[in-house]
Amino acid sequence: MTLIISDRCLSLKLLIFKLICQCVTPRYLIDPTWDSGYVNESGFYPSYNTNYLFTPPEVMIMSHFPNNKDWQLLSNPLPKEESLNNPMIQPEFFAKGLSLISPKQFKNNVNSVATIEINNPNNNYLLAKFNLIGSNNNTEDNNCQINQGIITSIKCKLPKQGEYIVNFFAAQEKYGNYNYLGRFQFNY
What is the per-residue pLDDT across 87-97, written as a single tens digit (0 to 9) for each?
999 999 999 99
Domain final residue pick, 86, 121, 144: 86
Does one domain contain both 100 and 182?
A: yes
Domain final residue pick, 51, 86, 121: 86
More confident residue, 21 or 26: 26
Q: Is the model's pLDDT at 82 over the cut of 90? A: no
Question: Cα separation of 166 and 157, whole Å?
Answer: 11
Does one domain contain both 112 and 176?
A: yes
Question: Cα separation of 72 and 91, whole Å?
Answer: 15
Count of domains for the chain: 2
Does one domain contain both 29 and 63?
A: yes
Please list, residue by residue across 101-112, b when 16 or more beta carbons sit within 10 angstroms of its beta carbon and e when fewer do. Answer: eebeebebeeee
| CA 187 to centroid of chain Cα atoms | 19
Report pLDDT for 21: 52
